[in-house]
Structure 1
Amino acid sequence: MRFTPLVTLLAAAIAISFWLPWLALPTGQGFTPNDLLGQMTGAEGKDGYSLLLSFLATFALAGFLALVALFGLAPRVLALLTGAAPLGVIGYVANGAMTKAQTYGLPLPTTGDWQAILKAVQPYIEPGLYVYVGAAAVLVVLSLIDPGSRRG
């Protein structure tokens, strides 16, 4: 990939977001993905456990890509997977969270209007989530538009 240095930084950003704050709940409690490691036994059934493992695997995959890209090896497929996996997990969680939002006291609109929903949750979002989603989105775009390796 021609964008290997940028891919390295983006993958590292996704991996580092594991320790950054993601949400500030109305109860005053914060959330980082690192907090989930202690709660793995409390995952809701088989689906909750699988989703939690998938979510945590996105950080491991990003760390692996960052390490591999440091050596100049950044396959487009791996970069695409590393970017698409977080977006897929976040999309799945966001879709399922609509039904559980009232549990946390979030006053979300019930119309399905994503702009209104994003506006409602914006005060609770911390930098880690922006880094995770933003780096993943840019990584997907770079892996799709990359012209390939330099020749000659």
Structure 2
Amino acid sequence: MQLNPTWEFVSDRVMGGVSEGALSIASHEGQPVARLTGRVSLENNGGFVQMAFDVTPDGSALDASKWAGLEITLRGNGETYDIRLRTAQLTRPWQSFRTQVTATPSWRIARLPFDRFEPHRTTQSFDPAALRRIGVLAIGKVFEADISVAQVGFYR
């Protein structure tokens, strides 16, 4: 199942950081591609730029329990990025379920099994029936971010 994301840009500036970045939408082979670029800075307790989207238009949960995991078509500058999932179970903005992926210079499909996503700052277990939000983050070290995502969906 392919998703139709409406990507949003978020950076550490929401909490006083100084990372700079941008989200742009381009076209590749006739389909939209979201591109996150920027410079991640650890100054002022910062350290991230992010593009993310709610999996449903109204922000409610989507039942993804029929699928084995997330499938993302991506490319980038060879850096490693976080993929973060948020569910209806989570109540704090710093809570998530996360894994990492490397964005190679050539387009590739990354299959990320749900059981690979680790809880962060929560005691909850990941429940794919309560999926609300998906994010792609450049985080945790000083570097130039450049990652493009052509498709996001689920696989069996």
TM range (shorter): under 0.3
Q: TM-score scaled to structure 2, two decimals? A: 0.26
Greater RCO, CA 8 A, separation 6+: 1
If each structure's strand is expressed as a fraction of its own residues, which one has the higher value?
Answer: 2
Larger-gyration structure (1/2): 1
If each structure's helix is expressed as a fraction of its own residues, which one has the higher value?
Answer: 1
